[in-house]
Structure 1
Amino acid sequence: MIKKLILTFCCTVSLHAWAQITIKNPILQGFYPDPSIERVGDDYYLINSTFAYFPGLPIFHSKDLKNWKLVGHAIERPGQFDFKGHRTSEGLFAPAISYHEGRFYVVCTNVRWGNFVVTAENPAGPWSDPVKLPEVSGIDPSVCFIDGKAYIVYNSEAPDNKPLYDGHRTIRIVDFDYKNLKVTSEPKILVNGGVDLSRKPVWIEGPHLFKRENYYYLSAAEGGTSVNHSQVIFRSDKPTGPFRPWDKNPIMTQRDLDPDRPKPVTSTGHADLFIGPDNNWYAVYLAVRPYEGNHYNTGRETFISPVTWTADGWPVIIPKGEEVKYSYTFKWKEQPLKDTYPLNGNFSYKADFKHPDNSFIFLRDYDPGMFSTGKKGLKINLKPAAIHEKEASAFVGRRLMHMYAGFKTSFDFTPASENEDAGIVLYQSDWNTYYAAKTLKNGRQVIELRKSKRNGSYDILASENLQGGKPLNLWIDFAADKLTFSYSEGKEKTRVLAAGVDARHLSTETAGGFVGVTIGMYGSSNGQPSHNSVTFKTFEYQGNDH
């Protein structure tokens, strides 16, 4: 990671402890999908998917489920995996975190490499090199410690690899030797297809196995990770089955609600159930906040809801017909964490690159020779790789965390040729970006707003001549489906570069894939060698959705 990045807090956090706590959803805003959570004593650790971003698999710590701190990454070194050549939505899918006898375990899927496990004594790291689990085919593995034994449950192919329909999958289980990190049994099918095979259920995935009283429960997502997403539950007298589904499944979905309802939360699923500070049950899960139809730019986010249990012992996360709530009040004390930055609610954030900040992420890899920090700010050396190429480009970014947000930066850059450019890229996928770039055209410095196209080219939406020789200030305003780009040179008057720009170009609905928008400081020499660089002085962000 960059050793000297800094953040300066522009928000205040109450240090008072109260007998009750109000937690706002999402608890992790922006692109934080596929949550898995583990309680260790009074501490909670949560992990998310990262796909082709580096570092991979962020691990958050909390004591109250409201205030979260990023403490480390399970994939923290370039040598653990190489994501070059991966599309943005390839890489690392759906990790699960577990703890047993002083050691943390993370199992995950690298879609090009297979399923693997890494371990650590401290969630902040260091984490081990990945150990491949070749017997675990498919995706979404989860290690479960039950009755003195360890198991891995996971999504796998249809029986005999002969699907009856598209999306026909199974949930399987194997015994796991957690000391030697080896599978020690043949896989056994626990669920074939889903709750009711006759109705052709699709994409049973994200399984978690846990015990409550005298029953073993298998919780899994069903219906795919978009608007038909749901969470279902099965139960057995034994951890290896046979499992029977609850006749009132699903235990959570929003697919049956009015799509035109105000401020909808959709696509709920991939839940992990756990015991909270008050010894009642809760669930974390992914969901999205669309601004129009199924368009959303913030990606799949992490939400929380209480779990209720029926009289005959079945869990319910969101009762049928009810909406996800944007806030819940619980009866335990708030416990803010020190030296962290906000991850939910409305907040402002400013980095001036003088002290450590582990919130910045990179595309596919981290090249320490590409970056340096000092009194002037963050210096990024231009790389030949362009943003649409499946390489490690000169990109340092942070997640877009609000539907309504403002961003500002100031940077120094003097392009030496027309193939050099630098500025801010709003990145959703290899082909879905907006790029406010400073470059040369006909020997004169200009600022351009570029909209990417599928073939690696782009449309220029706006272009203005610059005087040069002064820092370029850039503002981006996010307002649901519209974007405004503004700029100024030095202390001169701010000018609008482009207004009413279609933000749906950055939505998952348009781009496909599984990620959300990141705001990246970026520079490229576009296939040509270069010794040039760009220096960013600030990275300022303010979000206001609630």
Structure 2
Amino acid sequence: MKYLKRISCSFLAIALCMSIAAKDERGSIAKFDYFEYIGNDDFYRENPLPHDNSFYNPIVPGWHSDPSICRVGNDYFMVMSTFTYYPGVPLFHSRDLVNWRQIGNILDRPSQLPALQGQPINTGGIYAPAISYNPHNKTYYMITTDVGRGHFYVTTQDPFGKWSDPHWLPTIGGIDPSFFFDDDGKAYIVHKEDTEGKPKWSNFRSIRITRFDTTTGDVFGEDMPFRESGVGPEERLDRNEGPHIYKINGKYYMICAEGGTSWAHSEVVYRADSVLGPYTRWSRNPMLTQRLLKANRNNAVTCTGHVDIVDTPDGEWWGVFLGCRPDQNGFECLGRETFIMPIKWSADGFPYMTQSKDTIPLVLHRKGIKREKNVTFGNFTWRDDFTGKTLRPEWLSIWGSAEKYYKTGNGLRLSCAPITLKDRRTPAYIGRRLQHHKYTVTTCLIFKPEEGEAAGLLLVKNEEHQYFMALRKGNLALLQIGRGADKEIATQPIKTDGRPISLRIEARGTLCDFYYKEEGNGWQLLAKDIDATHISSRRGGGFTGSTVGMYAVKNQRE
């Protein structure tokens, strides 16, 4: 019986190799049996959660920047930026602010993202989405900016279903728009805009408020500027952006990010008796910052800001915001992550999260809430065998849908595409966000490459900061992709006749090791102690974190 099983498996392997060796017009097909991601950060191992109601910050780790949140009844919905990645704007759902699940992506059709191609990976595309609910027409709104084209919003009455095609707002400039729906049914859009005339100081920006007609779906009337006075560059409080307006106990509150997106990032709050102001600045601003703390402290959270706040049915207030977790030398590959904290209220009635040198807590508790088994935070294992008809919502491509290059079901099949990431057109790449400083990524690849073709695992920061563990005809190589020609760091002769080969990346903060395993053998080292800062935010710049995934290419440029 064992002999018959071996014969049967051999015939299946031969048939599979014949199938995947068949080429289409795009090149040979690389089959990835599975993809496994294991997070193993020291902090989580050394600081286990003490209670069932405990949870970690960041609540959604890895690059999930510019969070926005709203509540309808007992349901909370949260969104983040995606820049030039596709699908756009991940949508998370929770019923308790602790246990979150990604239920989809709001911009999941090409018709919703028509202008991504050609924009830079980590500075173009979709900026700072804001999600809101209008109780007067029972409609959810998500408004955002595609920096390659302008502002738009989409709507739905069922956030678990499909969202509309974009409604563009060509008369609004700047970035970071957000809706506010008042109790009287009037609606407004608040956004960052350049100032009129000579600015008061370098990088000074204004916040503007525009009336919105929910019946026609367009803005109308005069675009009214809100300017702060009396605060200058001596406090580094400039570049107002990411505004939101709330009505709380009859007062209007406006919160804005200030100080840029790096170490001086902060959040400030204002209050008014009318939605149009005048707004009074809180005397103890900022309501959130970490800029007064040493950047090289242990377990640092830096660059905090871009806050959105939400109330609970019981009257509590919480805020979500972005932050970074660099090492003591300022390096991280994760980008800006989503954190959460309870809101406190000052004696004079202003909301805040930190004061002076308060630090961001990495372990929090929420009374009456029980942590579920599968959560978005801490160390976890995430695996996909690609058995479904569609990709899971966590998967990403770049500059648009890569659907013409892949098929799912019994593994992921990727056709080698004649496109690299330097072309700024959609390549044959399917990836996910890095979410830990220490992680292991493993896949099994079946591929019979022709000359000039390559497939394997790709680590991506942007067009000029990548590592490619590439199976090519006759060898396995590790390539550092940067400006100019690719740099071959390591190469290993190997049979490439379509037999399975497993690939693995083990990351240890700023260092990565690359392994491979041929059928019947153990793991072999391809390259050790490779500098992971090549794909870090400090080296690559921009606003995204790094991703890792499966990549197939032909006619690679040298």
TM above 0.5: yes
The answer to whether residue 297 in structure 2 is matched with residue 261 in structure 1 is yes
The answer to whether residue 390 in structure 2 is matched with residue 358 in structure 1 is no
The answer to whether residue 363 in structure 2 is matched with residue 321 in structure 1 is no
Task: Say if 1:115 and 1:139, in contact at 8 Å, map to a contact too.
Answer: yes
1:80-124 deviation per Cα after TM superposition (whole angstroms, max 9, x unaligned) = 223111110200000000011321101100001111111111113
How far is the alpha carbon of 1:327 from its aligned partner?
A: 1.4
Give the Cα–Cα distance (whole angstroms) in 1 for the partners of residues 163 and 61 of structure 2: 25
Task: Say if 1:73 and 1:124, in contact at 8 Å, map to a contact too.
Answer: no
Residues 434-513 of structure 1 aligned to structure 2 (within 5 Å): 434-440=467-473, 445-455=474-484, 457-469=485-497, 470-513=499-542
How far is the alpha carbon of 1:159 from its aligned partner?
A: 2.4
Residues 264-343 of structure 1 aligned to structure 2 (within 5 Å): 264-276=300-312, 278-334=314-370, 336=372, 342-343=375-376
CA change 1:448–1:76 in 2 (3 A) is: same
| Residue of structure 1 aligned with 2:431, choices 397, 401, 414 | 397
Task: Say if 1:485 and 1:496, in contact at 8 Å, map to a contact too.
Answer: yes
Residue 257 of structure 1 aligns to which amino acid in structure 2? L
Aligned to 1:534: none
Q: Which secondary structure state, in structure 1, belongs to the residue aligned with residue 285 of structure 2?
A: coil
Residue 543 of structure 2 aligns to which amino acid in structure 1? F
The answer to whether residue 88 in structure 2 is matched with residue 56 in structure 1 is yes
Give the Cα–Cα distance (whole angstroms) in 1 for the partners of residues 544 and 315 of structure 2: 33
The answer to whether residue 176 in structure 2 is matched with residue 140 in structure 1 is yes
| Residue of structure 1 aligned with 2:280, choices 244, 264, 289 | 244
Task: Say if 2:34 and 2:412, in contact at 8 Å, map to a contact too.
Answer: no
Residue 104 of structure 2 aligns to which amino acid in structure 1? G
Residue 370 of structure 1 aligns to which amino acid in structure 2? Y
Gaps of 5+ in 2: 1-31, 40-49
Post-superposition, which runs of at least 4 consecutive aligned residues in structure 1 deviate over 6 A?
4-11
Give the Cα–Cα distance (whole angstroms) in 2 for the partners of residues 454 and 276 of structure 1: 49
| Residue of structure 1 aligned with 2:551, choices 503, 522, 530 | 522
Aligned to 2:420: 386
1:339-371 deviation per Cα after TM superposition (whole angstroms, max 9, x unaligned) = xx6421111111111035221111111142211
Aligned to 2:222: 186
Task: Say if 2:298 and 2:328, in contact at 8 Å, map to a contact too.
Answer: no
Larger Rg: 2
| Residue of structure 1 aligned with 2:74, choices 42, 49, 52 | 42
Q: Which secondary structure state, in structure 2, belongs to the residue aligned with residue 159 of structure 1?
A: coil
Task: Say if 1:169 and 1:193, in contact at 8 Å, map to a contact too.
Answer: no
How far is the alpha carbon of 1:435 from its aligned partner?
A: 0.6
How far is the alpha carbon of 1:163 from its aligned partner?
A: 2.8
CA change 1:227–1:448 in 2 (3 A) is: same
Aligned to 2:163: 127
How far is the alpha carbon of 1:24 from its aligned partner?
A: 1.1
Give the Cα–Cα distance (whole angstroms) in 2 for the partners of residues 298 and 146 of structure 1: 37
How far is the alpha carbon of 1:201 from its aligned partner?
A: 3.2
Task: Say if 1:194 and 1:202, in contact at 8 Å, map to a contact too.
Answer: no
Aligned to 1:543: none
Aligned to 2:28: none
CA change 1:311–1:164 in 2 (3 A) is: closer
1:365-392 deviation per Cα after TM superposition (whole angstroms, max 9, x unaligned) = 11422111233x1100111001222000
Normalising by structure 1, report the TM-score.
0.89
| Residue of structure 1 aligned with 2:103, choices 62, 65, 71 | 71
The answer to whether residue 235 in structure 2 is matched with residue 202 in structure 1 is no
CA change 1:479–1:197 in 2 (3 A) is: closer
CA change 1:42–1:195 in 2 (3 A) is: farther
CA change 1:114–1:9 in 2 (3 A) is: closer
Give the Cα–Cα distance (whole angstroms) in 2 for the partners of residues 6 and 182 of structure 1: 46
CA change 1:409–1:259 in 2 (3 A) is: same
1:306-325 deviation per Cα after TM superposition (whole angstroms, max 9, x unaligned) = 11101110111112211100
Give the Cα–Cα distance (whole angstroms) in 2 for the partners of residues 67 and 10 of structure 1: 20
Give the Cα–Cα distance (whole angstroms) in 2 for the partners of residues 7 and 447 of structure 1: 19
Q: Which secondary structure state, in structure 2, belongs to the residue aligned with residue 374 of structure 1?
A: coil
Residues 62-101 of structure 1 aligned to structure 2 (within 5 Å): 62-82=94-114, 83-89=116-122, 90-101=124-135
Normalising by structure 2, report the TM-score.
0.87
Task: Say if 2:66 and 2:128, in contact at 8 Å, map to a contact too.
Answer: yes
Task: Say if 2:515 and 2:527, in contact at 8 Å, map to a contact too.
Answer: yes
Residue 489 of structure 1 aligns to which amino acid in structure 2? E
Residue 184 of structure 1 aligns to which amino acid in structure 2? F
Please give the root-mean-square deviation of Cα atoms over the aligned residues, in Å. 2.3
Report which stretch shifted further, 467-476 or 419-428: 467-476
Residue 276 of structure 2 aligns to which amino acid in structure 1? T
Give the Cα–Cα distance (whole angstroms) in 1 for the partners of residues 470 and 37 of structure 2: 28
The answer to whether residue 150 in structure 2 is matched with residue 150 in structure 1 is no
Aligned to 2:257: 221
CA change 1:197–1:170 in 2 (3 A) is: farther
